[in-house]
Amino acid sequence: MGEAIKNRYEFVVLFDVENGNPNGDPDAGNLPRIDPESGYGIVTDVCLKRKIRNYVETVKEDAEGYKIYIKEDVPLNRSDNTAYEYLNTNEKDVKELKKKDPDVDRKIRDFMCKNFFDIRTFGAVMTTFVKAALNCGQVRGPVQLGFARSIDPIISQEVTITRVAITTEKDAENKSTEMGRKNIVPYALYRAEGYISANLARKVTGFSEEDLELLWDAIINMFEIDHSAARGKMAVRELIVFRHSKELGDCPAYKLFDAIEVKKREDVLYPRQYKDYSVTIHEDQVPDSVEISRKI
Amino acid sequence: MSHGVKVRVWGELALFSRPEMKVERCSYDVMTPSAARGILEAIYWHPGLRWVIDKIHVRKPIRFTSVRRNEVKSKVLASNVLQVMNGGDKPLYISSKEEIVQRAAILLREVEYVIEAHFEMTEQANGSDNPGKFKDIIMRRLRKGECYHMPYLGCREFPANFALWEDEKIDTAYPGEVKDLGYMLYDFDYSNPEEIQPMFFRAELRDGVLDIRDCEVVR
């Protein structure tokens, strides 16, 4: 595995949805998430992280060092277990071990970071290690994502559908079709913003340049392997990356984000396609030492 | 206070969880001193210094919103671990089927604060460390927007923009008002790592300012 990254990064992702539901709101009967005051659409950070994890899992197929911790079907502690196995110990002996080896918590943490891409990237809470005052409980990953928000207020449209196959025998006697509902956003462009701390990469998780490339790949392709009846047509349209010249960064993140202006074109009343928006990068607002790249 | 700084922090959303409502998280009305300390530490920290929060100025009206998300519930019992331990090298994951629950969070929206704080030197400072040096570093980072990692407003998904506050006067959203916010988390006492203790204080927002100097701390 390569060396940890040495530069701070910020990034902006623009993705759109056509006739689909990018992120359902469990509080609102799976309607697309919406900010109730302003009508802007929301996609949560965890929703996007899930897609990144899924992409990496699909591409790497659990290759050495690219395992994914948070997926389906197997209890969490089995993973913690390999760390214990690796150290040739178990939970009960940990206290004893701690006396002999004061660095044991750091070793467990490093083991988890080395093996799991998502822990290296986003961090993890490994509470099960907290016992016996082991202190690798919480790992903060270098990559931090905020909620994505739509550029313009969205409307969600309810589409009623029917199906001819009836679920139960009893219902089949009385009716020949069943009704269902789908909630879709006809079109929306979303903007997500992210941060990568080189310090956390270097001091904690060892997130490397290769990992970074994989992360960009994952972001660009995160919807390509996530097609489903609910999602409609989703695609990442822009991934704009700011690379600072230093580990600590060259300028405040908000200045970089402000330099990217995404606007609905003036003659467009109802945006229905990506072409209805214009994306401008005001390079004059970005210090020379910060390198801007458009990854798509 | 020569070691004092004023930092403006703002963001779209914030969640300073109340410990009594942490399963379905509900935010305090304003930022807690411990969250403010966390923000400053994200910008600059060194074992040789300790941040002390003096005042928190609330510059935007307190407003709430809610978001429900799928979250991972909890860890599995230790007894289960032992059983699995003999299972050997199997694929490893968190089980979404059993471990995921839906939880609502009540968030603050459109927040802006000015944190007034100062630092004190600790025993772990090196011989070459001095308050002037630390002060220079923190001022440079604030001016240039440098940080160790991006600070956040309670949770990492709510990033905090930050900048040095240079004006003498700080206007708030609640001039002339006194709001009793009840007991709030002050910070944790980490002096005994085996038993970390929360500390609380009686929070009063006077003219939009939470004054934490000389407040009585209860455990």
Please write the tens of the pLDDT for every residue from A116-138: 888 899 988 765 544 455 555 67
Sole residue written with tokens 């305090």: B28
Nearest Cα of chain B lies from the Cα of A175 at a distance, in angstroms, of 33
Q: Do A70 and B93 touch (CB under 8 A)?
A: yes
From residue B217, give the alpha-carbon distance in Å to each of B182, B185, B194, B204.
13, 9, 21, 13
Q: How many contacts does A have with B, using Cβ atoms within 8 A?
A: 157
Residue A130, pLDDT score: 42
Q: Do B75 and A77 touch (CB under 8 A)?
A: yes
Q: DSSP string covering B119-136, please?
A: EEE-TT--TT--HHHHHH
Residue B22, pLDDT score: 82
Once rounded to an integer, what is the mean pLDDT over residues A246-260?
93
Q: Which residues contact A287 (CB under 8 A, 6 or more apart)?
A: A250, A251
Residue B85 has pLDDT above 80, yes or no: no
Q: Which one of A45, A147, A197 has the shortest CB-CB distance to B149?
A: A197
Candidates A67, A77, A147, A203, partner chain B, best to mutate (most B CBs within 10 A): A77
Residue A86, pLDDT score: 59
Nearest Cα of chain B lies from the Cα of A254 at a distance, in angstroms, of 6
Query: What torsion do the CA atoms of B153, B155, B161, B162 make, to the nearest 10 degrees?
Result: 60
Residues linked to residue A264 through DSSP beta bridges, in sequence order: A277
Candidates B149, B155, B157, B196, partner chain A, best to mutate (most A CBs within 10 A): B149
A207 CB neighbours in chain B (<8 A) are none
Q: DSSP string covering B125-180, please?
A: --TT--HHHHHHHHHHHHHHT--SS--BSSSTTSB-EEEE---S----S-TT-EEE
A199 CB neighbours in chain B (<8 A) are 148-149
Q: What is the pLDDT of residues B144-159, one digit of tens each?
A: 999 999 999 999 999 9
Nearest Cα of chain B lies from the Cα of A173 at a distance, in angstroms, of 34
Sort strands A143-145 and A233-243 into parallel, antiparallel or unpaired. unpaired
Q: Do B95 and A75 touch (CB under 8 A)?
A: yes
Residue B97, pLDDT score: 63
Residue of A nearest to B153 (CA): A146
> Is the confidence metric ipTM above 0.85 for this complex?
no
Q: Do B149 and A72 touch (CB under 8 A)?
A: no
